[in-house]
């Protein structure tokens, strides 16, 4: 048995008992009210979901199991997955065991490559990536166990198996999507001696003699791992999961939401916006030029990608971490310098637009420039990197939800006429 499963078998039962007792005792306590504006406003701020893997306080940004992200940027993604799931960072033995589990499960079924090869050459990388996940659904251990009559209390166990099986394969799948979609040549085999992030870098095939690109990839995969339960990808995935659809269905569904330009696709849009400013002004623009460009974007009815957030009200700590990386590894890169200058200018512009609640950069504002620096210039691929990372949070949330035995998600909708009645209109 993996050490991760053994640890969860030991730690989950008392947590589950405590939650059951707490909910029983306080069942009638009110935790949120919903106004009409919220009902018609994407339920912003309405509390009614449970997520124990991470939280996003508006004034802090991502906190994973009580630890602020800024204190986790030196951790590798495997450590983060362990933390999301168990609430603790792994010791050396536990980390090595998780890495061994990934290695044992990383071979991708041949039919996945065939399906990807058969997709139209101009498919979006996210469509390819998500298709590869969905096409593996027949491998689901949860589905097999469910069909064999597994007890509800054990649902989390095959969900953990599905998680490990999927996470182990995502770097190879993601790397092949990159090589296939952008004509980079043959698929590169996995290197069993490398960790999850470095192996992904290796299979992408981008030259990295210094190891700095692998360093960035590990950071990237760590920073994008989870963002509590209410964002589009997490919420979509957990809704699908709550129907006892297995993780191949629910992860794919969640990541389809990540492919939207207001969510994860913003990182592709963001670098495009930065490069557009450089094209228009023949190089790194001055602050005045950037300010004008920002106003032109807003006045043409478009959003400034990489800025604003539904929950955050401060600079995203994930952006801070990327900015720090850029300052250390590529301070003279003109694209990075432009990103840095955009950060000096755009919040002041957005602050002047009354309706915008958060003028600060989010995770997507800076990451593209760093990838671009190392030669990954295909913007439409960037959300796949985000997905490989976010799969950790979605899987961890699914395992925990199954362990808690939470029911199918089914909030109530009403027609407008009923809301009018309710509001006395």
Tell me, residue by residue from 305 to 324, as one string, x for binding to ligand CMX by CB under 6 A and - for no binding: xxxxxx--------------
CA distances from 367 to 83, 321, 350, 377, 417 (A): 23, 10, 20, 12, 45
Could you say which of 358, 385, 395, 401 contacts ligand CMX (CB under 6 A)?
358
CA distances from 366 to 96, 290, 301, 321, 327 (A): 32, 16, 22, 9, 12
Show contacts with ligand CMX in window 177-236 (CB under 6 A): 231
Q: Where are the alpha helices (DSSP H) in 182-229?
A: 196-204, 212-223
55-63, 87-95, 148-156, 359-367 -> range binding ligand CMX (CB under 6 A): 359-367
Look up residue 34 and give its two tokens.
Answer: 């919903």
* Least distance from ligand CMX to the Cβ atom of residue 281, Å: 20
Total residues contacting ligand CMX by CB under 6 A comes to 22
Cβ nearer to ligand CMX, comparing 45 with 87: 45
* Least distance from ligand CMX to the Cβ atom of residue 51, Å: 15
CA dist., res. 106 & res. 89, Å (int): 23
Cβ nearer to ligand CMX, comparing 254 with 306: 306
Residue 262 near ligand CMX by CB under 6 A: yes
CA dist., res. 116 & res. 128, Å (int): 6
* Least distance from ligand CMX to the Cβ atom of residue 134, Å: 22
Residue 127 near ligand CMX by CB under 6 A: no
CA distances from 76 to 81, 83, 215, 225, 393 (A): 9, 11, 9, 11, 14
Show contacts with ligand CMX in window 289-308 (CB under 6 A): 298, 303-308
Residue 43 near ligand CMX by CB under 6 A: no
Cβ nearer to ligand CMX, comparing 56 with 108: 56
Closest CA to 141 of 160, 162, 121: 162
Tell how far CA 26 is from the center of its chain: 32
Look up residue 371 and give its two tokens.
Answer: 């990838």
CA distances from 64 to 86, 89, 391, 425 (A): 11, 11, 15, 43
Cite the active site residues.
Answer: 263, 309, 364
Residue 357 near ligand CMX by CB under 6 A: yes
* Contacting residues toward ligand CMX, per CB under 6 A: 44, 231, 262-264, 266, 298, 303-310, 355-358, 362-364
């Amino acid at each position: 048995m993996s050490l991760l499963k053994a640890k969860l078998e030991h730690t989950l039962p008392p947590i589950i008992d405590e939650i059951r007792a707490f909910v029983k005792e306080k069942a009638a306590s009110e935790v949120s009210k919903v106004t009409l504006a919220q009902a018609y406003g994407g339920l912003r701020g309405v509390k009614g979901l449970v997520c124990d893997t991470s939280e996003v306080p508006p004034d802090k940004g991502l906190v994973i199991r009580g630890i602020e992200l800024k204190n986790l940027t030196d951790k590798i993604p495997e450590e983060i997955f362990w933390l999301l799931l168990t609430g603790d960072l792994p010791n050396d033995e536990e980390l090595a065991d998780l890495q061994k589990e990934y290695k044992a499960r990383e071979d991708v079924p041949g039919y996945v490559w065939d399906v990807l090869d058969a997709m139209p050459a101009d498919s979006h990388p996210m469509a390819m990536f998500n298709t590869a996940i969905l096409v593996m659904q027949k491998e689901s251990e949860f589905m097999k166990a469910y069909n064999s009559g597994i007890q509800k209390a054990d649902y989390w166990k095959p969900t953990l198996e599905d998680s490990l099986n999927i996470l182990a394969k995502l770097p190879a799948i993601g790397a092949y999507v990159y090589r296939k979609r952008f004509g980079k040549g043959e698929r590169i085999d996995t290197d069993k001696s490398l960790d999850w992030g470095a192996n992904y870098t290796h299979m992408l095939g981008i030259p990295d003699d210094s190891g700095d690109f692998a360093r960035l990839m590990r950071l990237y995969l760590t920073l994008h791992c989870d963002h509590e339960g209410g964002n589009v990808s997490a919420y979509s995935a957990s809704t699908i999961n709550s129907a006892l659809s297995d993780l191949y269905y629910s992860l794919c569904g969640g990541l389809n939401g990540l492919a939207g330009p207001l969510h994860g696709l913003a990182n592709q849009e963001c670098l495009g916006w930065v490069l557009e400013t450089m094209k228009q002004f023949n190089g790194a623009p001055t602050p005045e030029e950037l300010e004008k460009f920002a106003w032109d974007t807003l006045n043409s009815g478009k959003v400034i990608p990489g800025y604003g957030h539904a929950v955050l009200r401060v600079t995203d700590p994930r952006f801070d971490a990327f900015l720090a990386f850029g300052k250390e590894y590529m301070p003279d890169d003109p694209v990075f310098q432009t990103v840095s200058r955009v950060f000096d200018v755009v919040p002041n512009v957005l602050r002047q637009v009354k309706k915008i609640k958060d003028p600060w950069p989010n995770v997507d504002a800076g990451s593209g420039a760093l990838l671009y620096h190392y030669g990954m210039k295909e913007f439409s691929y960037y959300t796949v990197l985000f997905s490989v990372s976010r799969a950790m949070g979605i899987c961890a949330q699914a395992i925990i939800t199954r362990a808690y035995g939470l029911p199918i998600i089914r909030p109530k909708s009403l027609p407008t006429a009923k809301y009018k009645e309710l509001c006395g209109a």
